[in-house]
Structure 1
Amino acid sequence: MPGPTVIPVQGDAALPAKVDVVVIGGGIIGTSTALELAERGLKVALCEKGGIGQEQSSRNWGWVRISRRDPREVPLMAEALRIWKTLDQRVEGDTGYTRAGIMFTCENDKEYADHERWNRNLDGYQLDSRMISGTEYKRMFPGTTMDIKGALFTAEDGRAEPQRAAPLIAEAARRKGAAILTECAVRGVETSGGAISGVVTERGPIACSAVVLAGGAWSSLFSGRFGIRLPQLKVKNSVLRTKPLEGGPGPAIWSNGFAVRKRADGGYTIASGHENVVDIVPNSFRFFFDFLPALRKEWRSLNLRMGGRFFEEARVPKQWAMDEVSPFERCRVLDPEPAKELTDVALANLTKAFPVFAKAEIAQRWAGYIDVTPDAVPVISPVEAIPGFHIATGFSGHGFGIGPAAGKLMADLVTGRPPLVDPANFRFSRFSDGSKIELISGF
């Protein structure tokens, strides 16, 4: 099943012998980190096993939102909103960013109270976010048939085009001097005196003093090769997009039955509001106790499935030599089969709410693997066991919007600058220092 069409980025032909930092992974987190570091005058090589933005960074919904985030992410996302406003000028291209607003609907009094309570997390940020009544909702969307209690409407939120963003950021990083290396998997890191001294890629070695692993769903496998235990699982999210359609909503909307946002091409991206597929794989057992609290809270929204994916992942080697083909070269792009039934239900629910979608023509379906952590909060952190090694991963389906700020925070940690926000909530050591790992349900 082919994924979405992504702006192609031609990788550099020459492999640099030495840089200051190697960034592993060409999604929005890796490219944003590379751009920040290059703008600060560091020599950077970004190594991507496939193409820039080919996996979840181009397969997500394209929402740029602070609303209904885990409160631990709110300060960083507030910075991201500021960055998105001028990102097009910075990358000299059109990411499709539009401050169009996002709506989270409330079917009853309890949901309304929950959303109202959440909105207090934005106190002091001077962002346009408020509760609206069901009557006001109908005034905003005269074509809707939804009869709801109300909604949380955050006008400050927006949208951008996932198929454009990471490639444009990568090209901007290259203009600032970064080497952009595609079809160039990193097989592993090298150390000297226990600290990072370089990486070995499929095309040869690169000497460096710092590495940032921004490998998305591949990060746990890469880390495990070197004895770093990173609890991480994959969740499959399925999406469909329509051909251009007149008369649909402008703001993005999340409800219990669907999630929808308008695209720059005039069509719509549509997905289930909360249902995802979780394949049972060997790591499901390896990390079972890490994820047990999350499973207890969110089991209703998870479609657990046992199938061929279990055996596919069981066959992936966990150890490999630096001079042999790695798993990252054997699978350049994760391109899972979309769950057609989930997108069909989402479109049917959307059509009930907005009858104009009865005219919608489906242009494409795709799926992507979201990399999740036990608390659904990312890791943006140095790894104390290997000085110079850093991880930026586990964004749990929230990475696209927060990506530019996550890259800036990661660059701060690499260079030793005062961090953009307090990075404590994103520290890697929380999984091993006895901290209570808590999933805040509903985010």
Structure 2
Amino acid sequence: MEPLQSLPVKVDVAIVGGGIIGISTAYALTRAGVSVAVFEKGTLACEQSSRNWGWVRSLMRDIPEIPLALLANKRWTEIQQQTDVGFRQSGILYLARTSGELNDYRLWLDKAKPLGVDAVLLDRGGVSAHLPEAKENWIGGLYSQGDGVAEPGLATQGIAELARRHGARIYEHCAVRAVGRQESGVSTIHTEHGTLAANAVLVAGGAWSRLFCGNLGISLPQLKVRASVLSTFPVTPPLDIAVNGRDFTCRPRADGGYTVSQFNASYTDIVPDSFRLFRQFLPAWIKNNGLVKLRLGKAFFREMSIRRRFGSDDISPFEEHRVLDPGPMQSALKSSLKKLAQVFPAFEVAEVQRMWGGYIDVTPDALPIISPVTGHAGLYIATGFSGHGFGIGPAVGEMAARMVLNQNPEIDLTPFRLSRF
């Protein structure tokens, strides 16, 4: 961490947020010879970047994200060769119990295969060959040998160290309060520990991005989904690939244990922004009713008390609430582990190491925003990754760097523009 008294007078690019997206962008920019300062209100990856499942997948990605996923798999391999982020191509298998699920996989593969994914459909025998210890006979599945896993507890810190080697300055416990624009076209970055100038600013604040942008007068349609995860101690015999059984997910960890969750172990707290964004999110709520549940509770009143407008000289909400640390849905996680053990008996005696929760930043169409901001020259956004950001983080960082530098990215970012809303 850089000492706070060493804030530079000016950098080429300032990045708001020290998660996987902000740090990966800093790494790409510094490799291009650009001076960068990253500002994180808490510590690196203190929120969802260290709390996710740790999957690096192309399987069942939204079609516009597939080029990012394929590039990310290459970049994870290169990063792992330089520093340990726990990346390994374990393979990922999505299981199908019904013909409808298998047909969904088939329809996706028809669209994704021309883009270069290495996925294949498996029949019963193919699934059994990959999962010989399983006690359930699935009708088929979708498998990618090239997909894999990385360790959220190592990844952002590892990439940050690579960025530092190339000259990135990374400031923890240093919230950005506001961004102003000078007549010269240079932005002024107001932090809790001083100001500096930057030619460009990237907002990569995850679940905080809507509040930050709203204070700048920018409408960013983003809500938070509360997700829950658990880790186990090692089991014997081991399960060597990552598996999605819909009512359970499981992936091997570098420490020999497993990360376990399920798709419906998530819910959205009803908060004031839920009503402000009701029309934009209603189709997504209806479509995903079985996966993401709505819940009214204390979060409504907690968020109602957070100031939506604040000045550069004020103590900001980012300083008052440095880390979003929701508790896990223990009942859903215990159910996930129970269902996993019914299929893989080795997990019947698996001991839970810990459980945790985190907030996922989501958009109405579940696609990220990787975009310049119309009417705000020099300001860019990379947020709203809807639970997909960790795996594609290194590729997003590379494309975001090119976007900020006004270079043509090799991947089409048009589907991710803020102006689509």
TM-score range, shorter chain: over 0.9
SS at match of 1:98: coil
> Counterpart of 1:215 in structure 2: which amino acid?
G
Give the equivalent residue in structure 2 for 1:423. 413
* Structure 2 residue aligned with 1:250: 240
Instruction: Pick from 385, 388, 398 the counterpart of residue 378 of structure 2.
Output: 388
Contact 1:273 1:346 in 2 (8 A): no
1:81 aligns with 2:73: yes
Please say if residues 195 and 386 of structure 1, whose CA atoms lie closer than 8 Å, have aligned partners that are also in contact. Answer: no
Counterpart CA distance in 1 for 2:418 and 2:240 is: 38
1:73 aligned partner, one-letter code? E
Cα deviations across residues 90-121 of structure 1 (Å, max 9, x unaligned)? xx310010001111111111111110111123
Give the secondary-structure state (helix, strand or coil) at the position aligned to 1:120.
Answer: helix
Q: What residue number does 1:21 align with?
A: 13
CA contact (8 A) 1:408 1:420 kept: no
TM-score between the two structures when normalised by the length of structure 2? 0.98
CA drift of 1:195 comes to: 4.5
- 2:39 is matched with 47
Q: Which runs of 5+ in 2 are unaligned?
A: none
Which residue among 149, 156, 172 is the counterpart of 1:166?
156
SS state at 2:10 partner:
coil
User: What is the CA–CA distance in structure 2 between the aligned matches of 1:364 and 1:322, rounded to whole Å?
Assistant: 39
1:198 is displaced (CA, Å) by 1.7
Secondary structure of residue in 1 paired with 2:75: helix
The amino acid that maps onto 1:217 is A
Aligned residue number for residue 51 of structure 2: 59
* Separation (CA, whole Å) in 1 of partners of 2:305 and 2:115: 48
In the alignment, which residue of structure 1 is the partner of 2:113?
123
How do 1:87-236 and structure 2 match up within 5 A?
A: 87-89=79-81, 92-193=82-183, 195-236=185-226
Q: CA deviation at 1:126?
A: 4.3
Whichever residue aligns with residue 42 of structure 2, its letter is G
User: Secondary structure at the residue paired with 1:228?
Assistant: coil
Q: Give the conservation status (yes or no) of the 8 Å contact 1:196–1:386.
A: no
CA deviation map 1:380-434 (0-9, x unaligned): 0110210000000000000001000101111011111121201100111111xxx
**What one-letter code is carried by the residue in structure 2 that aligns with 1:309?**
A
> Does 194-203 or 276-285 show the bigger shift?
194-203
- TM-score normalised by L of structure 1: 0.93
The share of aligned pairs that are identical, in percent, is 45
Shift of 1:194: 8.9
- The one-character-per-residue Cα deviations of 1:276-296 (angstroms, maximum 9, x if unpaired) are 111100000010001011111
Alignment of 1:275-286 (within 5 A): 275-286=265-276
Indicate if the aligned counterparts of 2:54 and 2:150 stay in contact, CA closer than 8 A.
yes
Deviates more, 1:188-197 or 1:389-398: 188-197
Matched with 1:331 is 321
The equivalent position to 1:12 in structure 2, one of 3, 23, 39, is 3
Partner of 1:437: none
- Using the TM superposition, give the Cα deviation of residue 75 of structure 1 relative to its aligned residue in structure 2, in angstroms: 1.4
Equivalent in the alignment of 2:311? 321
Distance 1:70 1:310 in 2: 31
Question: 1:342 matched to which residue of 2?
Answer: 332
Q: Return the letter of the residue paired with 1:148.
A: W
Decide whether the 8 Å contact of 2:113 with 2:119 is kept in 1: no
Report if the CA contact (8 A) 1:278-1:303 is conserved: yes
Q: What is the match of residue 290 of structure 2?
A: 300
Q: CA RMSD in A?
A: 1.2
Deviations 1:23-69 (A, max 9, x none): 00000000000111111111100000000011000000000000001
The alpha-carbon distance between structure 1 residues 417 and 351, as it changes in their structure 2 partners (threshold 3 A), is: same
**Corresponding residue to 2:349 among 359, 364, 371:** 359
Indicate yes or no: 2:231 matched with 1:241.
yes
Tell me the distance in 2 between the aligned counterparts of 1:18 and 1:353.
57
Q: Is the 8 A contact 1:240 1:365 kept in 2?
A: yes
What secondary structure does 2:68 align onto? helix
| Distance across 2 between alignment mates of 1:237 and 1:196 | 38
Q: Deviations over 1:217-273 (max 9, x none)?
A: 000000000110000000011000001222132110111210110000000000013
Q: Cα offset for 1:130?
A: 0.4
Return 61-70 or 295-304, whichever deviates more. Answer: 295-304
3-state SS of paired residue (1:244): coil
What per-residue deviation string (whole Å, max 9, x for no partner) do you get for residues 342-389 of structure 1?
101100110111111011000100011000000000000110210000
- Matches for 1:392-407 after TM superposition, within 5 Å: 392-407=382-397
Question: 1:125: how far off?
Answer: 4.2
Kindly indicate whether the alpha-carbon contact (under 8 Å) linking 2:187 and 2:201 is maintained by their aligned counterparts in 1: no
What amino acid is the match of 1:320?
Answer: F
Question: Counterparts of 1:275 and 1:335 in 2: how far apart (Å)?
Answer: 16
Q: 1:123 deviation in Å?
A: 2.1
The answer to whether the Cα contact below 8 Å between 2:265 and 2:329 also exists between their aligned partners in 1 is: no
Note if 1:267 corresponds to 2:237.
no
| Counterparts of 2:352 and 2:271, CA distance in 1 | 31
- Greater shift in the superposed pair: 383-392 or 266-275: 266-275
- Aligned-partner SS, 1:380: strand
1:135, distance to aligned residue in structure 2 (A): 2.2
Shift of 1:197: 1.6
1-side partners of 2:214 and 2:224: how far apart?
Answer: 16
Quote the Cα distance in structure 2 between the aligned partners of 1:260 and 1:314: 36
One-letter amino acid matched to 1:116: R
